[in-house]
Amino acid sequence: MKRLLVRLWLPALGVAVWELVTLCRWLDPLFFPSPGLLLQTFWRLTRNGELAHHLGATLGRLGVAYVAGSAAGIAAGLILGSLPFWRQSVQGVLSGLYASPKVALLPAFLVLFGINDVSRILPAAISCFVLMTMYSVDAARAVKPNYVDLARSCGAGRRALFFRVYLPACLPSLFTGLRVGLGTGLVIVVAAEMLGAPSGLGEFIWITGQTLAVDKMYAGIAVCALLGAGTNYLFERLERRMVPWVR
């Protein structure tokens, strides 16, 4: 309860100040609708299923991109961690991809694959893949050789070495990567949706913004924020369960 209060007081204060500022008409309500109005809009759009429709579309694309990209990235990273030749060979490409802003690739994907879900999912999947490959390579290389010797001395074979030593040793870093990757993936999917998608939070925010339905636009942004906060919270819970030895 106390923790909840600590987490919520600052956002609550922000909303209160916002309400005050709009009440006093210090800001144009056309561009800065009051939190009260936003809440009404949010509630209306939730009731009529509009937000759920767009959230569903975004979640679907993000889910596919995130799960496929991250899983492939983890597998590639852990394998590369044990193959110095291939690691060094792909290092340059990976670092380049990692450092470049993936949203800059969106137009290229639209040209290559057309205006469809492939070009909305693939950029996010590639981002998650590159990110998780980087995190997993580093994690695999950071496994202390002591632990490997120890496990081998106990008679661990390749399978046991992977599942009882490498994987758990990497798990804390993998979780950090997965958490970062989810945020990155959301950014890219939403950005991609702004470029002519038929549905999705990005499309909704873009269209409502363009038509000056500012209250609706903010409702869409709020869903993105809640989605980010919610998944982050779930990740914390999952991490505590899966990595109980790290606190």
Partner 1 sequence: MRIRCDDLGVSYTSGGRNIDALAGVTLEIGEGEFVSLVGPSGCGKTSLLRALGGFVQPRSGTVTRSGDTGDGSIALVMQEDSLFPWMTVLENATFALEMDGVPRAAREDAAQPMLRRFGLAGRERAYPQDLSAGMKQRAAVARAFLSRAGLLLMDEPFGALDAMTRQMLQRELLDEWTSSRRTVLFVTHDVEEAVLLGSRILVMTPQPGAISAVFGVPFAYPRSYELTLTSGFVRLKREIHALLGVGPMEARTRG
Interacting residues toward partner 1 by CB under 8 A: 144, 146-147, 149-156, 160, 164-165, 168-169, 171, 243-247
3-class SS of residue 228:
helix
Q: Which amino acid is at 143?
A: V
State which residue, 7 or 152, has the beta carbon closest to partner 1: 152
Is-contact 81 140, C-beta < 8 A?
yes
* C-beta closer to partner 1: residue 150 or 234: 150
Distance separating the N- and C-terminal Cα atoms of the chain: 21
CA proximity to 113, closest of 211, 228, 195, 177: 195
Alpha-carbon gap, residue 32 to 17, rounded angstroms: 12
- Least Cβ distance, residue 169 to partner 1 (angstroms): 7
DSSP letter at 113 equals H
Q: Which of 83/242 has CB closer to partner 1?
A: 242
CA distance 124 to 66: 7
Closer to partner 1 at the Cβ: 33 or 81?
Answer: 81
Distances (CA, A) of 24 to 18, 21, 110, 123: 10, 5, 45, 44
Least Å distance between CB 247 and partner 1? 8
- Residue 148: alpha-carbon gap to chain centroid: 33
CB of 88 to partner 1, least distance (A): 17
When the beta carbons of 7 and 144 are compared against partner 1, the nearer one is 144
- Of 102, 107, 137, 104, the closest CA to residue 123 belongs to 102
Q: What angle do CA 230, 203, 176 make, to 5 degrees?
A: 30
In the complex, least distance from residue 175 CB atom to partner 1, rounded to whole angstroms: 13
SS3 state of residue 212: coil
Shortest Å, Cβ 181 to partner 1: 22
Name the minimum Å distance from CB 84 to partner 1.
Answer: 15
Nearer CB in complex with partner 1: 149/236:
149
